[in-house]
């Protein structure tokens, strides 16, 4: 390995030193026992805009890869969402590599069963049993955990390796030519690479795409309302008809498949609260257009939800719940490119692929982005490779993100079919692919794979292996190109999607 580049830390136009934040989080995490990446020969200065799940994960992976990383986060970093989040097997694999396996086991619950019911009547359709035999090929577990526990784990991990943080620091503009960000105070920070991890309404995304493509600006009258609730278990237990749900095993969850909606719920954390999320389709409804903002915690009655489409038990459950997160989402395929023209600004998480919020796979997709960037940038040897590695990131991530988005949308459409023959046909297929929970039995693996093939492909994905495969195919060309004295815009064509560098 060549000597490490000791480039100066972030250059700014003022002399203000970064505001360090006190670690006020409860420690849930043992020290990481392993990590997949070795450090790069050349250390870059990287600014990550946004410090939630994708930003923290990316900052950790890039710091571990040998770079200096600064997170700029507009919130104070202390707000915690009481909702739950799923660590799907593809995400669990990465967290395990980052040494978070023991922390996951400590604060998350393994999901062993997903029960599907009809939304209108509550009738049982089928159950998916995620036992060891079944999960064998997928090679990692499904967990349900509190969103704030995941945040805390990633925050502590990033802090431990030396990621720098500035909270209450809102980025107001990004310049891809000078590779700089300007923050609210007017201060401008220069760096080598900017990563936009600033979520669904990303301000970095237009710099990458060159278009003002904020999905919230859409004039469409239809879309989806995403709501997350918590219902205290103690309240549920006071109602005889809700006791079966109050007694659900931790980690397992139930999905009610309604006419134009899906409602999922289960227990995570210490089991004090049942957490539920709903995706509800709307058409021509001006109330959502007028709201158009997120994190509105109004009473459910303020939303025009047709409660007649819900079985009486879920109606009661909703009436007992407290809304903790809401977002109006308009289906969006996301940007075509996730790397800017100058190859210095890129996107991760919801900024890169605006999936339906509070879905199964959102956090996992952002963590895959992080691991991909980290693994690629741990191989950096020369400055000329920055653009090549960013374009490699795009080549690896874009097809995967598209696949995940399509599968997510397809599953959502299937599970929220309107009442009628198509819904009945879907239920018959689900019954044939899974088990009748009351009668027991085994799932038919062949039929199951036919029905859930895309989900299996999503969960089996290994982000680390994908980079290794890419490197095996193209890495030697990239190294050769750089050591042959190629400059900033080398012509070694290792990108499949982009010509000209």
Ligand X SMILES: Cc1cc2nc3c(=O)[nH]c(=O)nc-3n(C[C@H](O)[C@H](O)[C@H](O)COP(=O)(O)OP(=O)(O)OC[C@H]3O[C@@H](n4cnc5c(N)ncnc54)[C@H](O)[C@@H]3O)c2cc1C
List residues binding ligand X (CB under 6 A).
49-55, 72-75, 81, 83-85, 147, 170-171, 197-200, 203, 228, 295, 325, 349-351, 357-358, 362-363, 366
Partners of 183 in the beta sheet? 171
Please say whether the beta carbons of 172 and 300 come within 8 A: no
User: In the complex with ligand X, which residue's Cβ is closer, 407 or 486?
Assistant: 407
* Residue with smaller CB distance to ligand X, 50 or 251: 50
Give a three-class secondary structure readout of 239-307. CHHHHHHHCCCCCCEEEEEECCEEEEEEECCCCCEEEEEEEEEECCCHHHHHHCCCCCCCCHHHCCCCH
Please give the span between the terminal C-alpha atoms of the chain, in angstroms, as a whole number. Answer: 26
Indicate the residue among 75 and 131 with the shorter CB distance to ligand X: 75
In the structure encoding, which two tokens stand for residue 45, read together? 């200065």
The Cβ of residue 6 has, within 10 Å, a number of other Cβ atoms equal to 8
Which lies closer to ligand X via its Cβ, residue 85 or residue 373? 85
Q: How far is the CB of 108 from ligand X (least distance, A)?
A: 13
Question: Smallest gap, in angstroms, from Cβ of residue 61 to ligand X?
Answer: 13
Q: Closest separation between CB of residue 329 and ligand X, Å? A: 10
Cβ-based nearer residue to ligand X, 365 or 423: 365
Per 3-state DSSP, the chain is made up of helix, strand and coil in percentages (nearest 5) of 40, 20, 40
Using the minimum distance from each CB to ligand X, give the nearer residue, 88 or 387.
88
- Tell me how far, at minimum, the Cβ of 447 lies from ligand X, in Å: 29
- For the beta carbon of residue 323, count every other beta carbon within 10 angstroms: 19
8 A C-beta contact, residue 325 and residue 333: no
User: What is the smallest separation between the CB atom of 348 and ligand X, expressed in angstroms?
Assistant: 7
- Judged by beta carbon, residue 182 or residue 427, the one nearer ligand X is 182
Secondary structure of 91-121 in HEC code, one letter for each residue: HHHHHHHCCCHHHHHHHCEECCEEEEEECCC
| Burial letters 432-462, b for 16+ CB under 10 A, else e | ebbbebeeeeebeeeebeebbeebeebbebb
Of 225, 259, 245, 224, give the one whose Cα is nearest residue 316: 245
Find the shortest distance in angstroms from Cβ 113 to ligand X: 19
Q: For strand 193-196 and strand 345-347, is the pairing parallel, antiparallel, or unpaired?
A: parallel
- Please check whether residue 305 is in contact with residue 139, taking contact to mean a CB–CB distance below 8 angstroms: no
Residue 73 or 394: the one with the smaller Cβ distance to ligand X is: 73
* Shortest distance, position 226 Cβ to ligand X, whole Å: 9
The CB-of-173 to ligand X minimum distance in angstroms stands at 9
Smallest distance from the beta carbon of 201 to ligand X, in angstroms? 7
The DSSP H or E segment spanning 328 is strand 322-329
Closest CB to ligand X among 382 and 405?
Answer: 405
């Amino acid at each position: 390995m060549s000597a490490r580049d000791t480039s100066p830390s972030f250059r700014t136009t003022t002399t203000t030193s970064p505001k360090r934040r006190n670690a006020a989080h409860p420690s849930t995490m043992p020290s990481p026992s392993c990590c997949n990446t070795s450090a790069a020969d050349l250390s870059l200065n990287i600014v990550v805009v946004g410090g939630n799940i994708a930003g923290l994960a990316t900052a950790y992976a890039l710091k571990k890869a040998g770079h200096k990383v600064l997170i700029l986060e507009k919130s104070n970093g202390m707000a915690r969402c009481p909702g739950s989040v799923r660590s799907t097997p593809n995400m669990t694999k990465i967290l395990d590599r980052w040494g978070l396996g023991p922390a996951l086991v400590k604060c998350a619950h393994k999901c062993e069963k997903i029960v599907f019911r009809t939304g209108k009547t509550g009738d049982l359709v089928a159950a998916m049993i995620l036992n060891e035999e079944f999960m064998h090929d997928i090679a990692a577990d499904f967990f349900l955990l509190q969103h704030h526990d995941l945040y805390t784990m990633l925050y502590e991990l990033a802090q431990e390796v030396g990621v720098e943080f500035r909270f209450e620091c809102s980025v107001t503009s990004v310049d891809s030519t000078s590779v700089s960000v300007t923050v609210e105070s007017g201060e401008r920070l220069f760096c080598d690479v900017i990563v936009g991890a600033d979520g669904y309404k990303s301000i970095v995304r237009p710099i990458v795409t060159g278009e003002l493509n904020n999905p919230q600006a859409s004039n469409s009258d239809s879309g989806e309302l995403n709501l997350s609730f918590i219902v205290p278990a103690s309240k549920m237990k006071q109602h005889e008809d809700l006791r079966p749900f109050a007694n659900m095993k931790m980690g397992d969850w139930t999905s009610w498949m309604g006419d134009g909606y899906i409602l999922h719920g289960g227990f995570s954390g210490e089991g004090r609260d049942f957490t539920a999320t709903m995706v509800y389709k709307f058409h021509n409804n001006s109330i959502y257009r007028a709201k158009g903002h997120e994190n509105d915690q109004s009473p459910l009655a303020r939303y025009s939800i047709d409660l007649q489409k819900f079985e009486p038990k879920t109606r009661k459950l909703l009436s007992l719940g407290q809304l903790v997160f809401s977002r109006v989402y308009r289906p969006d395929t996301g940007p075509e490119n996730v790397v800017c023209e100058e190859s210095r600004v890129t996107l991760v998480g919801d900024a890169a692929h605006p999936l339906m919020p509070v879905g199964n796979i959102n956090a996992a997709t952002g963590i895959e982005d992080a691991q991909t960037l980290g693994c690629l940038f741990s191989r950096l040897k020369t400055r000329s490779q920055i653009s090549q590695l960013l374009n490699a990131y795009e080549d690896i991530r874009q097809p995967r993100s598209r696949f995940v988005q399509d599968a997510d949308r397809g599953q959502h459409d299937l599970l929220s079919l309107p009442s009628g023959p198509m819904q009945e046909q879907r239920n018959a297929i689900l019954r044939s692919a899974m088990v009748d929970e009351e009668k027991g039995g085994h799932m038919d693996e062949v039929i199951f794979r036919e029905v859930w093939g895309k989900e299996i492909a999503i969960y089996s994905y290994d982000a680390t292996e994908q980079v290794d495969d890419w490197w095996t195919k193209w890495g030697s060309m990239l190294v050769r190109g750089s050591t042959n004295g190629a400059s900033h815009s080398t012509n070694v064509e290792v990108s499949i999607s982009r010509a000209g560098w």
